[in-house]
A and B are shown apart, each in its own frame.
Chain A
């Protein structure tokens, strides 16, 4: 099993807690989950990476696509729980400049 997603809601935000590795196998799982949320009108999505300790360019691609989907519906995508190893990959690809990230999950609980 590459990637498991646990869903919850708080306020206007939908939380997707990821567990596993976000790679070529896991990316379609996350992509589909975001597509379903947007289709239901849930356009403010928080992805919690606390349970993820590996991400590659396929995984990054799935959240870039997710950001495009929610923003095209006037929503937004937030990232939390990103450890140092993942942070390094985000920085390398300069994606820390386009995603709203915070290490504290409660930041997005409003």
Chain B
């Protein structure tokens, strides 16, 4: 079984929930994917789209965002593409330790680590013409389900 969809959305926060719902519904057609794994998928999609929207808003770029979702028996692959100016993946600073008072000064900075931990594969290609985030969620993953 292979199903594939492509979604194009405006750079608006209220579309993130819609994409989560559509991709989650597609994933639910695969009986091999547990409810927990579909929840992981919805979460990583949300993180990638949030970053894409923030990046394009920061640079006042109104071009639509693209989400690709490919469903096979073994996995779901998702890809989020933006047209922002890119970033250095390795330049993202670590957050202060959780129990440090300084930690409460940081409301952002968790998205990338969530994508790393919740997905079974994360690849980010970023350059001056935009960023492509590709993630894989395997049907079975004993660590996350």
Contact = CB atoms under 8 A, between A and B. Distances in A.
Interface of A: 2, 21, 23-25, 54, 56-58, 60-62, 64-65, 67-68, 71, 85, 89, 92-95, 97-98
Interface of B: 13-14, 16-17, 20, 36, 39, 42-43, 46-47, 50, 53, 98-99, 103-111, 113-114, 117-118
A2 B47 CA distance: 16
A99 to B, nearest CB: 10
Nearest to A21: B17
Contacts of B117: 92
B43 A89 contact: yes
Nearest to A63: B107
Contact of B113 (A21, A58, A93): A93
A89 B47 CA distance: 12
B47 A68 contact: no
User: Chain A binding site: helix, strand, loop or mixed by DSSP?
Assistant: helix
A65 B106 CA distance: 8
A23 B44 CA distance: 12
27 contacts: A2-B14, A2-B17, A21-B20, A23-B16, A23-B50, A24-B50, A25-B14, A54-B20, A54-B43, A56-B47, A57-B108, A57-B109, A57-B114, A60-B110, A64-B103, A64-B107, A67-B104, A71-B104, A85-B36, A89-B114, A93-B113, A93-B114, A94-B98, A95-B98, A97-B99, A98-B98, A98-B103
B104 A23 contact: no
B114 to A, nearest CB: 6
Contacts of B113: 92-93
A24 B118 contact: no
A85 B108 CA distance: 21
A55 to B, nearest CB: 8
